[in-house]
Amino acid sequence: MDDDHEEGEEYLFKIVIIGDSAVGKSNLLSRYARNEFNLHSKATIGVEFQTQSIDIDGKEVKAQIWDTAGQERFRAVTSAYYRGAVGALIVYDISRRTTFDSVGRWLDELNTHSDTTVAKMLVGNKLDLENIRDVSVEEGKSLAEAEGLFFLETSALDSTNVKKAFEMVVRDIYNNVSRKVL
Ligand code: GDP
Ligand code: MG
């Protein structure tokens, strides 16, 4: 069924995670890639990435997921960070409105450094902090609709929707690529 692909051909997709400091970017990645969560994680400086293998319809797809690793505190996420990205998670913290207000700025930056076909997921993290929620689900949803983004609320703390958030992006990229090949 897959005659367009050489035997053993690999799919490797670069995905970046962006959003304000302390929204939970590093913990979303560590929860997804290593099933780890850190209550007092400190931002380390310098870019880091993790490579994760995902099975999509029997095909092995690799996602190389990049974490800003603290660069964003200095508004210094470089163009190298975005280079070659085909997917992005734009993360805010549902308990901190200022982080939601920043989403537009992150989208602008992403659009400046990458092309428009990047698969984008808006992620409202810290869903476990429902009792101090500061951004409604509807607000997240309508922003995502207006900007053409996927949308999920997640919790890196209790794992809600974490796998789904990454894998919906990977699946969308894969579908676009295989559509082009056919
Ligand atoms: P980053 O700066 O965006 O990479 O954020 P971190 O992953 O370093 O997380 C910042 C802080 O938020 C840390 O104290 C984490 O323990 C906490 N945190 C991250 N994700 C969650 C979550 O889903 N729920 C809760 N309650 N805290 C979280
Ligand atoms: Mg971090």
Choosing from 20, 27, 99, 158 the residue with most ligand 1 atoms within 8 A of its CB, the one to mutate for a pocket test is 27
**Gap from CA of 165 to ligand 1 centroid (Å):** 16
- Model confidence pLDDT, tens digit, residues 29-68: 999 998 888 887 666 555 588 999 999 988 999 999 999 8
Ligand 1 and 160: CB distance under 6 A:
no
pTM of the model: 0.92
Q: Give me the pLDDT at residue 6, please.
A: 53
The pair of structure tokens assigned to 139 is 């607000």
Ligand 1 and 177: CB distance under 6 A:
no
Q: With 0-12 CB in 10 A as exposed, 13-18 as middle and 19+ as buried, what is 16?
A: buried
Q: Give me the pLDDT at residue 116, please.
A: 78
Residues 60 and 10 sit within 8 Å (Cβ to Cβ): yes
- Predicted ipTM beyond 0.90: yes
Q: Which residues contact 56 (CB under 8 A, 6 or more apart)?
A: 170, 171, 174
Q: Which residues contact 119 (CB under 8 A, 6 or more apart)?
A: 86, 87, 88, 150, 169, 172, 173, 176
The pair of structure tokens assigned to 69 is 């690793």
Q: What is the DSSP string of 143-162?
A: HHHHHT-EEEE--TTT-TTH
Residues 152 and 164 sit within 8 Å (Cβ to Cβ): yes
- Model confidence pLDDT, tens digit, residues 69-110: 777 777 667 888 999 999 999 999 999 999 999 999 999 999
**Closest ligand relative to 160 C-alpha:** 1
**Closest ligand relative to 73 C-alpha:** 1
Give the residue among 142, 152, 97, 100 at the shortest CA–CA distance from 122. 152
Q: Give me the pLDDT at residue 42, please.
A: 67
Distance between CA atoms of 147 and 163, rounded to whole angstroms?
Answer: 23
In terms of DSSP bridges, do strands 59-67 and 48-56 run parallel, antiparallel, or are they unpaired?
antiparallel
Residues 67 and 91 sit within 8 Å (Cβ to Cβ): no
Ligand 1 and 159: CB distance under 6 A:
no
Q: Give me the pLDDT at residue 2, please.
A: 47
Closest ligand 1 atom, residue 42 Cα: 8
**C-alpha radius of gyration, the chain, whole number:** 16
**Gap from CA of 142 to ligand 2 centroid (Å):** 26
**Gap from CA of 49 to ligand 1 centroid (Å):** 17
**Closest ligand relative to 69 C-alpha:** 2
Check whether 3 has a pLDDT greater than 50.
Answer: no
Q: Give me the pLDDT at residue 182, please.
A: 52
Distance between CA atoms of 41 and 168, rounded to whole angstroms?
Answer: 26
- Model confidence pLDDT, tens digit, residues 118-177: 999 999 999 999 999 999 999 999 999 999 999 999 999 999 999 999 999 999 999 988
Identify the band that residue 1 occupies on the pLDDT scale cut at 50, 70 and 90. Answer: very low
Residues 144 and 151 sit within 8 Å (Cβ to Cβ): yes
Identify the band that residue 7 occupies on the pLDDT scale cut at 50, 70 and 90. Answer: low
